[in-house]
Amino acid sequence: MDANRERGTVRHQSLEGGFWGIIADNGTKYLPVDGLPPDARREGARIEFVARPVSVISAVMWGTTISLSSVRVLDAEASTEE
């Protein structure tokens, strides 16, 4: 399947020992199998990301598993517009 560009909000989930997930603007929950880059690991961080779905077995059972090819944090851009 092709990669998709989307925007969303980073959320820390406390299930199964804790993990970082993304809730896209359309409401879809995504679980990055390779994790998030350090600058995006903040509760509520707004990001733009390019990802493709991957089929992996996960103990977490939350959201669609994805592989991220790029992540851009949008928070800094938003704060300059205020």
- Total domains in the chain come to 1
| CATH code for the domain in which residue 24 is found | 2.40.50.500
Instruction: Note down the domain range covering 34.
Output: 4-81
Cα separation, 38 vs 21, in Å, equals: 13
What pLDDT, on a 0 to 100 scale, did the predictor assign at position 82?
A: 35
Are 15 and 47 a contacting pair, CB within 8 Å? Answer: no
What pLDDT, on a 0 to 100 scale, did the predictor assign at position 51?
A: 96
Portion of the chain with pLDDT greater than 90, in percent: 71
Q: Please determine, for residue 50, whether its predicted confidence score (pLDDT) is greater than 70.
A: yes
Cα separation, 33 vs 22, in Å, equals: 11
Task: With cut-offs at 50, 70 and 90, classify the pLDDT of residue 49.
Answer: very high
Mean pLDDT of all residues in 9-38: 93
Task: With cut-offs at 50, 70 and 90, classify the pLDDT of residue 8.
Answer: very high
Q: How far is CA 12 from CA 7, 22, 51, 80, 81, in A?
A: 17, 9, 19, 25, 26
